[in-house]
């Protein structure tokens, strides 16, 4: 319950509580000074303790703790010696506030851990100090018998912000301390046991810890290799061996000999007591040319492999140094360093070597390779972590393959084989060319179209900032591996197509070149490119196509056997999953899946051994990206052979007047055993092929590949494919005149009629039902009525 204030005052309605920084707070640590504001000058107040507050905010189990008379509007309340718990203020001007409204909580600051990890430390080594409290950030006073503030500063100034606490010079303040592990450098400290005292500067919390400093053996430092040879634009690895010490100093270059000099403190994560450890210093030869030898576009100039560390303690270079030149850079290592006294380093120098930087070799013309990955693999590819997986493992696991065709929504990757340029991609946080700062004209990735309109250049998309088709933020860096000489990028063309800031949208059904380009005037261009004044370029091409998916005609006759197989072809990425649904009402429903092979084919196994021939069925198949196809068929005897699959095409597919037109007829045997069929191909009334085709199991052959028309004239040309005396396919090839109208009219295409197969076929042209195909390649739907009539006549013949 609340207790009335002696002397007539009831409460302190306007009282607020602030910490030493002047911030309002409701929680403090015992020993801190709480500033109470909003008081009435000259009024009397008391501080009361409460076990808790009820639902109305009234104190429960309260008792008197302290009292004071306000001298002004504020009062400094020293909480030293107070118990932990709740405290509230009573005084005049209570108003409608509750006891809880005028309260604060007091708790203890506790040292959960305050110790050195080891009981002893060599007098030339670091010890690890671990501090863990129940407080977020705080200041500590540290002292030790036998050490003055200069000694304490030398031990702790590398890890803490320090300040002298008193005039006696025996206490040092560690400011803004957070829980963690810190290096304590005992180099130069006299041997002996030291008892340290840690005290909170504003609470009563304190801790004691001790460590013994012993005489350490003289540490040694030397280079792992006699010399280091590396290509500019790569990361040079300099091995430093440390014995009986875990720290040392490495100097790269000298101002006199190289016009560049960087001094590094190298630290081995292991203590190396009675043994030798190696620090692999990684020098980014591009970032190192920045003025402070620290970072460039986010990439650190100097790092260390594993858990070891490197710190740049001094750096110098000639004015306007943009790139480290070729040649020899002196290397040296020392056990000591003083920024104000060069002789300290020189007197303790123990080994020397050279770093030789060479010019890049010209980029090979075939260094760039377009690659494709299934659409559902892109997320995993983006998440690639070189610490957990190799690039070869990524390629295998995510079905990345070389390609000249990319189906819309599949992943377009660009692989570059190069023994240089890897330093530009060293920043692990850089996800795109833009993030890595690779947006200049000197070094860029470009996609260009092969076709253009009259009096116009083909469109280009480039990572060069400022271009209308800038794509630097859409080209993602997957990996750059210097040891395997491989770079892998993902071109997110879907986001390019959707980006309103990109002028052209990379349409499908077009051929593109993708190239990596290096300007011959760039400071990192190869010597050959600079001398010949020719840019370096490596290019590969690919077709960006709509997704296509077709079931083979042979699926209209699946054998009633345990080895029945649904087959087809698609242009989607190898490794894409294909699933089907084979259904016969009242007989069976089967759903199976398989993966697209490297050649674009797929084969889905079914077991129909329990069924007889002549059972009608419907077949629906779909790949993961959504393209699909369907047909109807009937089972045949288990030992019966399926009909051949035929593909009739022309080049060009939509010929114009004056073109030379080539016709191709390809045939494939879907059976595991040899089979023959009599085939006749007639074009424009002339029989171009009439012979028996015999193929081994799963074999294929091109039976027609010849010129159909030379300098073609405008008109319609009839064609027919006859198999075993019956029309298998027929149509019309239309030759059109050139037109300025590019509206996509199909007047120049032909018509194909796949009249063979089951009379219950649900697809006359065998094409995908996703709108991606209008008929057999080379023969479109221009004469659909003829195709339908042919199919109807064939059905009547078969019924008879």
List pLDDT tens digits, range 673-682: 899 999 999 9
Whole-angstrom distance, CA of residue 262 vs CA of residue 661: 68
Whole-angstrom distance, CA of residue 775 vs CA of residue 654: 13
Query: Comparing 20 with 512, which gets the higher pLDDT?
Result: 512
Whole-angstrom distance, CA of residue 186 vs CA of residue 193: 12
Neighbours of 153 (CB within 10 A): 16
Query: What does the pLDDT look like over 341-373, one tens digit per residue?
Result: 989 999 999 999 999 999 999 999 999 999 999
Query: What does the pLDDT look like over 54-99, one tens digit per residue?
Result: 999 999 999 999 999 999 999 999 999 999 999 999 988 767 889 9
Q: In what order do the strands lie in the sheet with 126-133?
A: 111-116, 126-133, 180-185
* Share of the chain residues as helix, strand and coil, in percent rounded to the nearest 5: 10, 45, 45
Q: Element (H or E) spanning 219, and its range?
A: none
What is the average per-residue pLDDT within 764-781? 40
Strands 411-417 and 368-373: antiparallel
Query: What does the pLDDT look like over 555-591, one tens digit per residue?
Result: 999 999 999 999 999 999 999 999 999 999 999 999 9
Strands 686-695 and 700-709: unpaired
Tell whether the model's pLDDT for residue 598 goes beyond 60.
yes
- Looking at the chain, the whole-number percentage of residues with pLDDT higher than 90 is 74
User: Of the given ranges (153-162, 489-498, 750-759), which has the lowest mean pLDDT?
Assistant: 750-759
Q: Element (H or E) spanning 777, and its range?
A: none
Query: Comparing 96 with 521, which gets the higher pLDDT?
Result: 521
Strands 227-231 and 295-296: unpaired
- Give Cα 122 distance to the centre of its chain: 44
pLDDT recorded at residue 117: 94
Residues contacting 130, CB < 8 A, separation 6+: 113, 114, 115, 116, 117, 180, 181, 182
Q: Element (H or E) spanning 118, and its range?
A: none
Strands 126-133 and 180-185: antiparallel
- Looking at the chain, the whole-number percentage of residues with pLDDT higher than 70 is 88
Query: What does the pLDDT look like over 613-664, one tens digit per residue?
Result: 999 999 999 999 999 999 999 999 988 888 999 999 999 988 999 999 999 9
Query: Comparing 222 with 15, which gets the higher pLDDT?
Result: 222
What is the average per-residue pLDDT within 130-159? 94
Contact 348, 332 (CB under 8 A): no
Contact 400, 373 (CB under 8 A): yes
Helices (H) and strands (E) in the chain, counts: 8, 57
Query: What does the pLDDT look like over 699-714, one tens digit per residue?
Result: 999 999 999 999 999 9
Residues contacting 708, CB < 8 A, separation 6+: 650, 661, 662, 663, 683, 684, 688, 717, 733
Residue 795 backbone dihedrals phi, psi, to 5 degrees: -60, -40
Query: Comparing 255 with 785, which gets the higher pLDDT?
Result: 255
Tell whether the model's pLDDT for residue 262 goes beyond 70.
yes
The whole-chain average pLDDT of the chain stands at 88
What is the average per-residue pLDDT within 115-139? 93
What is the average per-residue pLDDT within 464-473? 94
pLDDT recorded at residue 788: 38
pLDDT recorded at residue 512: 96
Residues contacting 498, CB < 8 A, separation 6+: none
pLDDT recorded at residue 125: 82
Contact 116, 129 (CB under 8 A): yes
Residues contacting 364, CB < 8 A, separation 6+: 417, 418, 538
pLDDT recorded at residue 12: 63
Query: What does the pLDDT look like over 380-409, one tens digit per residue?
Result: 999 999 888 999 999 999 999 999 999 999
Whether cis (ω within 30° of 0) applies to the bond prior to 652 is yes
Tell whether the model's pLDDT for residue 753 goes beyond 60.
no
What is the average per-residue pLDDT within 419-447? 93
pLDDT recorded at residue 53: 95
Q: What does the CA dihedral 146, 147, 148, 150 come to, rounded to 10 degrees?
A: 150
pLDDT recorded at residue 7: 38
pLDDT recorded at residue 295: 55
pLDDT recorded at residue 82: 95
Q: Which of 271, 361, 262 is nearest to 313 (CA)?
A: 262
Whole-angstrom distance, CA of residue 237 vs CA of residue 235: 6
Q: Please report the domains of the chain, with CATH numbers, ordered by start residue.
A: 16-107 (2.60.40), 111-214 (2.60.40), 222-247+258-358 (no CATH), 368-545 (no CATH), 549-634 (2.60.40), 645-799 (2.60.40.10)
Contact 436, 477 (CB under 8 A): yes
Whole-angstrom distance, CA of residue 419 vs CA of residue 359: 11
Tell whether the model's pLDDT for residue 792 goes beyond 60.
no
Tell whether the model's pLDDT for residue 228 goes beyond 90.
yes
pLDDT recorded at residue 542: 97
Q: Which of 228, 461, 418, 433 is nearest to 332 (CA)?
A: 228
Tell whether the model's pLDDT for residue 544 goes beyond 70.
yes
How many residues are present in the chain?
800
According to DSSP, residue 750 is labeled -
Q: Using alpha carbons, list the distances in angstroms from residue 638 to 56, 498, 595, 607, 672.
A: 87, 51, 25, 11, 13
Query: Structure pTM?
Result: 0.64
């Amino acid at each position: 319950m609340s207790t009335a204030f002696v002397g007539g005052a009831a409460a302190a309605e306007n009282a607020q509580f602030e910490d030493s920084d002047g911030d309002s707070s409701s929680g403090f640590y015992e020993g801190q000074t709480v500033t109470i504001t909003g008081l009435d000058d000259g009024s009397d107040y008391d501080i009361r303790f409460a076990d808790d507050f009820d639902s109305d905010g009234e104190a429960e189990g309260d008792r008197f703790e302290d009292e004071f008379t306000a001298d002004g509007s504020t009062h400094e309340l020293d909480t030293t010696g107070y118990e932990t718990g709740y405290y509230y203020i009573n005084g005049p001007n209570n108003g409608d506030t509750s006891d809880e409204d005028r309260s604060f909580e007091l708790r203890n600051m506790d040292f959960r851990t305050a110790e050195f990890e080891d009981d002893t430390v060599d007098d030339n080594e670091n010890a690890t100090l671990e501090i863990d409290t129940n407080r977020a950030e705080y200041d500590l006073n540290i002292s030790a018998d036998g050490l003055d503030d200069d000694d304490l500063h030398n031990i702790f100034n590398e890890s803490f912000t320090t300040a002298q606490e008193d005039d006696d010079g025996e206490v040092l303040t560690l400011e803004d301390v957070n829980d963690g592990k810190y290096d304590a450098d005992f180099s130069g400290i006299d041997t002996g046991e030291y008892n340290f005292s840690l005290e909170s500067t504003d609470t009563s919390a304190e801790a004691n810890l001790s460590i013994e400093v012993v005489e350490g053996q003289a540490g040694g430092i030397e280079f792992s290799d006699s010399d280091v040879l590396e290509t500019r634009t790569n990361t040079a690895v300099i091995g430093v061996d440390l014995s009986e010490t875990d720290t040392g100093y490495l100097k790269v270059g000298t101002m006199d000999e190289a016009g560049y000099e960087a001094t590094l403190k190298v630290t081995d994560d292991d203590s190396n007591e009675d043994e030798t450890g190696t620090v692999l210093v990684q020098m980014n030869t591009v970032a190192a040319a920045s003025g402070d030898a620290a970072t460039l576009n986010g990439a650190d100039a100097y790092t260390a492999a594993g858990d070891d560390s490197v710190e740049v303690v001094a750096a110098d270079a000639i004015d306007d140094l943009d790139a480290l030149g070729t040649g020899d850079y002196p290397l040296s290592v020392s056990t000591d360093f003083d920024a104000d006294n060069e002789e300290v380093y020189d007197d303790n120098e123990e080994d020397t070597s050279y770093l030789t930087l060479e010019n890049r070799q010209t980029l090979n013309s075939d260094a760039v390779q377009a690659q494709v990955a299934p659409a559902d693999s892109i997320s995993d590819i983006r998440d690639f972590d070189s610490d957990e997986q190799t690039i070869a493992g990524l390629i295998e696991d995510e079905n990345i393959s070389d390609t000249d065709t990319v189906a819309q929504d599949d992943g377009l990757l660009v692989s570059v084989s190069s023994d240089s340029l890897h330093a530009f991609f060293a920043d692990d946080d850089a996800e795109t060319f833009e993030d890595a700062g690779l947006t200049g004209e000197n070094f860029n990735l470009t996609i260009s179209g092969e076709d253009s309109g009259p009096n116009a250049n083909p469109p280009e998309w480039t990572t060069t900032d400022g271009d209308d088709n800038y794509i630097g933020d859409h080209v993602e860096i997957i990996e750059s591996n210097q040891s395997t000489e491989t770079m892998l990028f993902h071109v997110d063309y879907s986001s390019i197509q959707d980006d309103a800031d990109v002028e052209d949208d990379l349409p499908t059904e077009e051929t593109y070149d993708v190239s990596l380009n290096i300007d011959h005037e760039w400071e990192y261009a190869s010597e050959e490119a600079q001398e010949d004044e020719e840019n370096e370029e490596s290019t590969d091409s690919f077709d960006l196509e709509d997704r296509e998916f077709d079931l083979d005609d042979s699926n209209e006759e699946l054998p009633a056997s345990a080895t029945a197989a649904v087959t087809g072809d698609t242009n989607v990425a190898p490794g894409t999953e294909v699933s089907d649904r084979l259904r016969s009402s009242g007989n069976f429903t089967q759903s199976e899946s398989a993966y697209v092979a490297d050649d674009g084919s797929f084969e889905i196994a079914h077991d129909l051994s329990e069924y007889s021939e002549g059972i009608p069925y419907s077949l629906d198949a779909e790949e993961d990206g959504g393209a699909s196809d369907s047909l109807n068929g009937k089972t045949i005897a288990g030992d019966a052979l399926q009909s051949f699959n035929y593909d009739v095409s022309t080049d060009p597919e939509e010929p114009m007047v004056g073109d030379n037109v080539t016709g191709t007829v390809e045939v494939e045997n879907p059976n595991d055993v040899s089979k023959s069929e009599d085939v006749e191909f007639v074009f424009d009334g002339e029989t171009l092929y009439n012979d028996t085709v015999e193929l081994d199991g799963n074999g294929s052959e091109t039976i027609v590949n010849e010129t159909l028309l030379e300098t073609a004239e405008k008109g319609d040309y009839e064609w027919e494919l006859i198999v075993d005396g019956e029309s298998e396919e027929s149509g019309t090839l239309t030759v059109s005149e050139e037109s300025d109208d590019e509206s996509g009219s199909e007047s120049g295409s032909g018509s194909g009629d796949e009249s063979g197969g089951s009379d219950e076929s649900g697809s006359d042209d065998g094409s995908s039902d996703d709108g991606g195909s209008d008929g057999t390649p080379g023969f479109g739907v221009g004469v659909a009525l003829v195709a339908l009539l042919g199919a109807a006549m064939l059905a009547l013949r078969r019924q008879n």
